[in-house]
Structure 1
Amino acid sequence: MRKTASGVFFGELKRYYLWYTGGFILFLLALSILEKEGVPRIWIGYLFMFATSVLYASIGLLSRTSDVSEYYVAGRRVPALFNGMATGADWMSAASFISLAGGLYVQGFDGLGYIMGWTGGFCLVALLIAPFLRKFGQYTIPDFLAARYSGRHNGNLVRMLAVVATVIVSFTYVVAQIYGVGLIASRFTGVDFSVGIFLGLASILVCSFLGGMRAITWTQVAQYIIILIAYLIPVLWLSAKHSENPIPQVAYGTVLSKLSARELALERDPKEQQVRAVYRKLANDYDARLKALPQSWEDGRLDAQRHVSDLKMGSASLVEIKSATRALAAYPKSVAEAQRKWSDARTSYLARAMPPTPFATPFPGKDAAESDIKRNNFLALVFCLMMGTAALPHILMRSYTTPGVQAARMSVFWSLFFILLVYLCIPALAVLLKYDIYTVLVGSNYTQLPAWVSYWANIDKLNPLVSIVDVNRDGIVQLAEIAIDGDILVLAAPEIAGLPFVISGLVAAGGLAAALSTADGLLLTISNALSHDTYFKVLDPAASTQKRVTISKLLLLVVALIAAYTASLKPGDILSMVGAAFSLAASALFPVLVLGVFWKRANQQGAIAGMLTGFVTCVYYMLHTHPTLGGSGAAQWFHIAPISAGVFGVPAGLFAVGVVSLLTPAPDQRTAALIDHIRSP
C-alpha cells in the first residue's frame, strides 16, 4: 500500500529528528573529551550556548515564510506526535524547568500544587477546549471568541477585549521566560545579567521573527529533546548516588525517609538552635526599630554619618572606611523606605529563625487554623493553574496546527506524555537535592566550601543567589546559615551532584531551550493578536497577506524588546510572575471559552460582562493584597494569597456571563448553528 503524503512527511520528520538526537549525543561526548583534555569551563559554556543558538537560528532560517497559514498555524499539517513534543517544549517554560524543583525544595509538599494544577489543566484542555477550537479552524483565540459571540452585532468589542487579555497574560508570562534566559546566560557566559537577557533575545527573534509558527514548531521539537536529556541525567545520577537505584521515581521514597530523619536531627541540633536564636534577636531588633519610627530612622542615620566621620578622622583602614561609606549609602533615604526595608528584613530573619519544615508534611502550621489556611491556598492554587492552563492563548493556539480534530485530541495526549516524562522527575530531584545539601554541605567546614557556592554567589552581588554566613562563628556550616534562591537549584544540580561541568552546560542548554521555546510561542501569540485581530480584522481588513505578516513581524520585535527591558528590571521571582499570568488567563478567558462551547444561551453582552468582571476582580485582588504592587496581606479574602486571585475572578466571570446573557436577547440562529457544528462528532 502506498503511503499518503502525511505518512511520508511523518516518516521524514522521524528520520530527521533521530539523526538530530544522535548528533547531539555525539556533541556531548566531544565536549566531555575536551573537558578531560583541560579546555577551560568558560569555553565549554560558550560552546553550548553558541551551538544551540546556531541550531535554533538555522531551523528558523530554513523555516522562514511569508505565507499567512504557515506563519500563523504552521500550515495545519503538524503530526500529533510532533505537535505534542512542540507543545511539551512550549509548556516546559523557565518556571517548569528551572523553578519547579526549587519551589518544591523551598515549600515542600505545598509546592506540589504547581505540578497538580498544570497537569490537571491539560486534561481540561483535552476535554473542554482543544478539539472544538481545531474544528472551528481559525488562527487565534480572539478569532474564535469574536465569531462565537458576534451574534446580530459586530464582534469586534469581544475581539478587542480578548486581545487585551491575551496581550497582558502573555506579556506577564514572557517576562518570566526572558528573566530565566538572563539568569542562564549570565551564569554560563560570565556576561552581565541584563546583557545575557538581550543575547538570549536574539535567539528568540531569529526563530519567531522569520518563520512564525512553522519555525517555532520545528525548533520546539528540537528543544524538547535537549530539555529531556538535560533534565534526566542529573536526576538519574543523584538517584543512583543516594539510593543505588537509577530510577528516581522508585528511589526517592527511600531518600525521603532518610531526609525526614536528617530534618529531625537538624531541628534538635544545639548549633542550629544557636543560629536560629541569633536570627530571632535580629528580627526583634528590627521590630523595635519599626515601633520607634520615625525617631529610630533619624537616630540611625546620624549614627551612620558619625561612624564614617570618626573612621576618617581616626586611623581606620581604607577597607573599614569604604565599608562604613557603603553602609551609609545603603541606609534608607526616608521613613517610608525604612518602614519597607526593615519590615522585609524582620520577615526574613523571622523565617530563618524557624526550624526546618518537614519536606513530606502537608500544610505545616503552628496550629490548626494556620494549617487550614495553607490547605485552602494549596487548593486555590491548583484551581487557578488548572483553569489558567485551559485558557492560555499560546497553548490553545497549538490546537490550530494539527491536520484535524482527532489529531488535536491525540496531540494533547502526546503533550501530556512528554510533559510527564519530566514532571514525574521533578519531586524526586527536589528530594535528592535537599538530601544532598543537608548531608554534604551542612556540617562542612567554611574553609572547604564547594566551588558551586562561590560561582552562584558572584553572579548577582547585590542580591546573591547563594549566601552562607557563619553567624555563630564556629567555622561549621549550619542549615540556618544557608540561603539559596530556589531558581538556581536545577541549574546548579550537576555541580551539587559532583558531575562534570559539561553536564552543567547541558542543563543550562536545557533551561535555555525551555525558556526560549515558551518565549517564542508567547511573543508570536502577542504579535498575532495585535496584527491579525487588531490591525487586519479591525483597522485594515483589505490588507494583503504580505502586509499582515510584515506587521506581525514588526510588532513581535517591538514587544520582544519591551519584554526584555522589563525582565532586566527583575520584577519578581519566576514562579510568582507565572502564577499571576495563570490567574489572569483563568479569570478573563476561561469562562467565555468554556461557556462559548457548552452553553448556547451565552451571548455577546454576557461575554463582554464576563471578561471585564473576571479580569477586574482578579486585578483588583492582586493590587490590594500583593505588597510589591502596593497592597497588604491584611486585605486578603479568606486568607487567599494574591497568586491565586483567579479563585475569585473565575466565579465572578462565570456569574456575569450567566446573569447578563439571561437578561439580554438570546444569540441568533447563525450562532446556534456554529455551536452545533463545533460540538458535532
Structure 2
Amino acid sequence: MSTQVLIYIFVGLSFALYIGIAIWSRAGSTKEFYVAGGGVSPMVNGMATAADWMSAASFLSMAGLIAFLGYDASVYLMGWTGGYVLLALLLAPYLRKFGQFTVPDFIGTRYYSKTARVVAVICLIFISFTYIAGQMRGVGIVFSRFLDVDITMGVIMGMGIVFIYSVLGGMKGITYTQVAQYCVLIMAYLVPAFFLSFMLTGNPIPQLGLGSEVNDGSGLYVLQKMDMVLTDLGFTAYTAGTKSTIDVFCITMALMVGTAGLPHVIVRFFTVPKASDARKSAGWALLFIALLYTTAPAVGAFARLNFVETVNETAYAEAPEWFTNWESNDLIAWHDKNGDGVMQYRAGNAFEGTPTFVEGTGPSGERLVSNAPVADSENEVYVDRDIMVLANPEIGNLPGWVIALVAAGGLAAALSTAAGLLLVISSSVSHDLLKSTFRPDISEKGELLAARLAATAAIVVAGYLGIYPPGWVAEVVAFAFGLAAASLFPVIFMGIFTKFMNREGAIAGMVSGLVFTFAYIFYFKLWNPTMNVADNWLLGISPEGIGVIGMLINFGVAIAVAKMTAQTPLEVRRLVDSIRVPRGAGEAHAH
C-alpha cells in the first residue's frame, strides 16, 4: 500500500473519530457548551488539557526551533513547561473554586466592574486570534503537503472539521475530541522519535538516545557530533548559547506568566466537579505534556543531524524524494550559486527574505525563486523550520505508515488548540459581553445560539487569517504571550491573593501593561524591524521577553492606583477569603 493511500486512511479515520465524538457528545445546555457540564474526570480532563496545551507550536514549531537554535531554544522548553506548573499550582484550583465559566467572568465579578470585564474580553480575543491564525495556517500546510491540495483548500477543510465539533459539541464535544486528539498526536510524536533514536544511537528511548554515542563508529556522542558538524559548516555550536542572561530570564518568565494567563487553558479547569479535581487534572496533564516536551530536544537534534547529512554536498539531481516534495510546497528552496549542481548548506541566508516561488525551472533543475540570492553567503539552501517534525520520518526513510501517522498527528495538534481557542472567543462574546454585560435578560436558549453564532464567525475570521496571513503572522507569536503576561496574569493573580486590589487598580494595571507591551512589540517587530537588535532594546530585553516589564508595570500601576482610590467592598473581600478556604473546596461559589 502506498504512503499516500496510508495518509488518506489515517487522516480520514481520525477525522471520522472526531466528528463521531462531536455528534455523540452534542451540547444541550450552556453549562455543557461552556464547561462540559462540570463533570469531567481528572484524568480525562488532564489528557484534554494536554491536547489543548500542545498546539501546532508545540508539535511542529518547538522541535524545529530546537533543531536550528540549539541551546538558545531551551527558553521555550523552560517557559512553556514552567508556565503550566505556575498555572496548575497558583491559579487553576482557586479559579475552579470561584465557580464561574470564563476568565472575564472572574475578573468582572472579582473587580465588581463591567468595564474590567470588557477590557479582559478585548485582551482575550486579541490573544486568541493571534494564536489561532498560526493554528489554521499549520492545518493548511499539513493538508497541502500530505493530502495534495493547495493551502487555501486545506484551511477550508480544517475550518469544516473544527466547525462540526466545536459549534455542535461546545466544550463537551471538544473535551472528548481532545482526548482522542491527544492519543493521536502523542503517538505521532513518539513513534518516529523511537525509530530515529534507535537508528542513530541503537537506543530506542529518545530521551536517553540524545545522551548516547552515535553508532557510526566515530565514538562521538550525539551532541558532540552536532557541535562538530555545525561548526565545520560555519554555524554556532549547537550547545552554545548566544542570548544574554537577562534576555534568557525575561523570555522564560514572559512565556511562563504569559502561558499561565492563556484563557483557553485556564477554562479547562472549570470542567471538573471540584477544586481538588482541578489539582489532580493538573497533575495528569503535566505527565501527559512531559511525554512530548522531554522528547522534543531529541527530535530536534536528530532532525538537524539527519537534515545536514542528507542535504549538504548532495547533487540536486540525486536529491531524496522528500526534498522535492517539500520544495513543491514552497517550504524548502535551493539556488545553485556556484553552478556545480551540488547543494551547499552553510551558515547564513540563501535568499533575501522568505523565498517566493515562480513558475519554471532553474538552470540546474531547481525551482525558480523570485527572491534575489544573498551574494556574500555561501549557503544555497533555505528551509522552513516548521517542517522538521513533519519531514523527519521522510528524512529518516521511515515506513509509510509512520509518515501517515505524523500527518494525522500534526492535524490533531493544530485542530485541538484551534477548537479550544474558538470556544474561548465564542463564550467571551455570548456569556461575558451579551449575558453578563449588555443583555442580562437573554434566555439560555438565546445565549447558546449566540455562542454558536460567535463560534461560527470566529471560525470564518480564523480561516481568513490562515488563507491570507498578514506578512507578520509568524512574528506576532510574541504578542500572545507578551500581552497575556502583561494584561491578564497580574489581575488574576492579585484577584486571588490580595483583598485590597480594587476595580480602579485592576483596570489601570491591565490598560498600562497592555499598552506598553503592545507598543514595544509593535515598534520592533512591525514598525521598525531594522532596529530589532540587542543594542536598541530596553535593558537588552528582546520583544519576546518584554512582557515581563509589562507585567511589572501592570502590578506597579495597579497597586499605586488601588492605594489612592476607594477600598474594595466588604463582600468582595469576603469572596476572596472564601476562594482560599480549604473547607468546602468542592462547592461552587455560593457566597
TM-score normalised according to structure 1 size: 0.77
1:598 matched residue in structure 2: 497
Look up the SS of the partner of 2:451 in the other structure: helix
- Structure-2 change in CA distance of 1:572 and 1:679 (3 Å): farther
Give yes or no for the alignment of 1:113 onto 2:14. no
Output the amino acid matched with 1:412.
Answer: A
Work out which of the residue numbers 563, 570, 573 in structure 2 matches 1:672.
573
Which residue, out of 59, 63, 67, partners 1:101?
Answer: 63
1:423 aligns with 2:385: no
| Residues 582 and 649 (structure 1), Cα distance of their counterparts in 2 relative to 1, 3 Å cut | same
Map of 1:361 onto structure 2: 240
**Equivalent residues, number:** 541
The residue identity in structure 2 corresponding to 1:564 is G
User: Is structure 2 residue 11 aligned with structure 1 residue 145?
Assistant: no
**Hey, what does 2:344 align to over in structure 1?**
478
Please say if residues 527 and 559 of structure 1, whose CA atoms lie closer than 8 Å, have aligned partners that are also in contact.
yes
Alpha-carbon spacing, 1:262–1:98, altered in 2? closer, same or farther (3 Å)? closer
Query: Partners of 2:526 and 2:271 in 1: how far apart?
Result: 41
Q: Are positions 1:385 and 2:255 aligned together?
A: yes
Query: What is the Cα-based RMSD across aligned positions, in Å?
Result: 1.7
TM-superposed deviation, 1:257: 3.3
1:213-612 equivalences in 2 (<5 Å): 213-254=171-212, 255=214, 257-261=221-225, 263-264=227-228, 267-268=231-232, 355-363=234-242, 372=244, 375-459=245-329, 464-480=330-346, 481-571=380-470, 576-612=475-511
Please state whether the residue corresponding to 1:253 is helix, strand or coil. coil
Q: State how far apart, in whole Å, the 1-side matches of 2:394 and 2:25 are.
A: 37
Q: Out of 57-66 and 42-51, give the one that drifted further.
A: 42-51
* Whole-angstrom CA distance in 1 between matches of 2:143 and 2:185: 16
Residues 113 and 575 from structure 1, CA distance in 2 versus in 1: closer, same or farther, beyond 3 angstroms?
A: farther
Does the CA-based 8 Å contact 1:466-1:483 persist in structure 2?
A: yes
* Offset of residue 259 of structure 1: 4.9
CA shift at 1:380, angstroms? 1.5
Please name the residue that 1:313 is paired with.
Answer: none
2:160 pairs with one of 193, 202, 217: 202
Letter in 1 for 2:393: P
Say which structure is richer in helix: 1
Distance 2:445 2:82 in 1: 40
Deviation at 1:409, TM superposition (A): 0.5
State the alpha-carbon separation in 2 of the partners of residues 630 and 490 from structure 1: 29
Q: Which amino acid aligns with 2:15?
A: S
What's the counterpart of residue 89 of structure 2?
127
CA distance in 2 between partners of 1:50 and 1:206 (Å): 15
User: 2 CA distance for matches of 1:590 and 1:648?
Assistant: 13
| Unpaired runs of at least 5, structure 2 | 215-219, 347-379, 583-591
* 1:497 to partner: Cα distance: 0.9
C-alpha contact 1:262 1:438 (8 A) present in aligned 2: no
Equivalent position of 1:639 in the other structure: 540
Q: Gaps spanning 5+ residues in structure 1: where?
A: 1-34, 273-354, 364-370
* C-alpha deviation, 1:563, in angstroms: 1.3
Task: State the AA in 1 paired with 2:421.
Answer: L
CA apart distance, 1:113: 0.7
How far residue 575 of structure 1 moved from its aligned partner, in angstroms, is 6.4
Contact persistence 2:123–2:487 (CA under 8 A): yes
**Contact 2:483–2:547 (CA under 8 A) maintained in structure 1:** yes
Q: Is the 8 A contact 2:435 2:447 kept in 1?
A: yes
- Tell me, yes or no, if the aligned pair for 2:250 and 2:541 is still in contact at 8 Å: yes
The normalised TM-score by structure 2 is 0.88
- Describe the superposition over 1:245-276 as per-residue Cα deviations: whole angstroms up to 9, x where unpaired: 101111112358345346435644xxx6xxxx
Q: Distance in 1 between matches of 2:231 and 2:123?
A: 47
- Give 1:281's aligned residue: none
How far, CA to CA, are the matches of 2:528 and 2:441 in structure 1?
42
* Alignment CA distance shift 1:262-1:77 (3 Å): closer
* Distance (Å, rounded) in 2 between the aligned partners of 1:195 and 1:628: 32
Q: CA deviation at 1:629?
A: 7.1
CA deviations over 1:208-231 (Å, ceiling 9, x no partner): 100100000000000000011100
d(CA) in 2 for partners of 1:265 and 1:536?
A: 60
Q: 1-side partners of 2:320 and 2:163: how far apart?
A: 37
- The whole-number CA distance in structure 2 between the counterparts of 1:599 and 1:486 is 43
Which sits farther off after the overlay, 619-628 or 222-231?
619-628
Distance 1:113 1:630, change over 3 A: closer
CA distance in 1 between partners of 2:520 and 2:560 (Å): 22
Specify the code of the residue in structure 2 equivalent to 1:193: I
CA distance, structure 2, for counterparts of residue 252 and residue 575 of structure 1 = 29
Amino acid at match of 1:360: T
Give the AA of the match of 2:107: L
Q: What is the alpha-carbon distance in structure 2 between the residues aligned to residue 148 and residue 546 of structure 1?
A: 27
- Check whether the contact 1:68–1:545 (CA below 8 A) recurs between aligned residues: yes
Q: Give the residue type in structure 2 aligned to 1:644.
A: G
Evaluate the alpha carbon distance shift between residue 230 and residue 661 of structure 1 in structure 2; reply closer, same or farther with a 3 A threshold: same
Q: Secondary structure at the match of 2:343?
A: coil
Q: CA separation of 1:132/1:453 partners in 2, compared to 1, >3 Å: closer, same or farther? A: same
Q: Is the CA contact (8 Å cut-off) linking 2:475 and 2:525 kept in structure 1? A: no
